[in-house]
Structure 1
């Protein structure tokens, strides 16, 4: 915890909710995207309630990935957990992707605070395999970097229902 920022209990609760799919759970109520931000006093990492999406929030979207990218603020940093659905040559898959959003337009002090607090957050979110750092909205709109992190362009056939 190099930055001294603590992780709020609500963050861990949101992680457990997006990570574990319970028997009998209604698919449309499952979390698709959860964003985390620094509190107003920069002392803790909290759930950004305004930037949380459930499956039902994206069910009528033509491009789910585009909708997710549009949720990131252009001039501020965020952390996010994204429940990514994709298809390989062999099977349908679902993985949690940890995203650190630190756009070039964000204030330097904020970017440094987010970068130095990431370790504390990652310790609370055990078991994440895929991490994606995005520093430019253009990078987020291009799915090729994410596809490489998921496997490779040759093995991934669909991302969020769209052929790649």
Structure 2
């Protein structure tokens, strides 16, 4: 009988010890699970924030940066390296959401020919290869980027050209001078000469 009592007395503390170890393990696992859930929530929130920021950037780029037709880059490269053209006029084609080449000016054409090619009431981008003689009597040339936004053009068109300009300019490596004009007087030959020197 004593052996049975001793045995049950020994089992009680062992069982209590096992129970407390189990409780500690359950408690530790519970805390780790809570920490893990917190980490997962943090990661989800962080990912959602980043995803939202990426979506905003994509929307901003699509809203403010028209795609650039490859012909624009190729023709600009010809103007810059081979001097096959005096000027190029670019137009945003809203139908296909791209900047496209509208007109190529031949090497013998003048600055007056170029300005006459710009529409009086529509926005355009243009590049012009301007030849000039320095004060030291050296023959030089500079490539001008001209953002043409006449006062008479549509407000939506002005906004579209203004918001797409920087992205488009980045595609044309080699521009040396930039002009913005809303009126022919703001891009007169005298202004161009002064900016070139």
**TM-score of the pair, normalised by structure 1:** 0.76
Deviations 1:77-113 (A, max 9, x none): 1101101111112200111111111111100110110
Asked if 1 retains the 8 angstrom alpha-carbon contact of 2:65 and 2:168, the reply is no
Q: Higher relative contact order by CA 8 Å / sep ≥ 6: 1 or 2? A: 1
Q: Spell out the pairing of 1:103-142 with structure 2 (5 A cutoff).
A: 103-140=150-187, 142=188
RMSD: 1.6
Report the number of matched residues: 135
Shift of residue 42, structure 1, vs aligned partner: 5.9
Deviations 1:7-47 (A, max 9, x none): 111111111110102xxxxx7xx200111101141611011
Deviations 1:107-164 (A, max 9, x none): 0110110000001111111231201111102323x3232122112xxxxxxxxxxxxx
The whole-number CA distance in structure 2 between the counterparts of 1:15 and 1:115 is 20
* Structure 2 residues not aligned, in runs of 5+: 1-60
Task: Give the equivalent residue in structure 2 for 1:89.
Answer: 135
Structure number having the greater helix percentage: 2
* Structure 1 residues not aligned, in runs of 5+: 22-26, 59-63, 152-164
Q: Which runs of 4+ in 1 moved over 3 A?
A: none
Asked if 2 retains the 8 angstrom alpha-carbon contact of 1:5 and 1:42, the reply is no
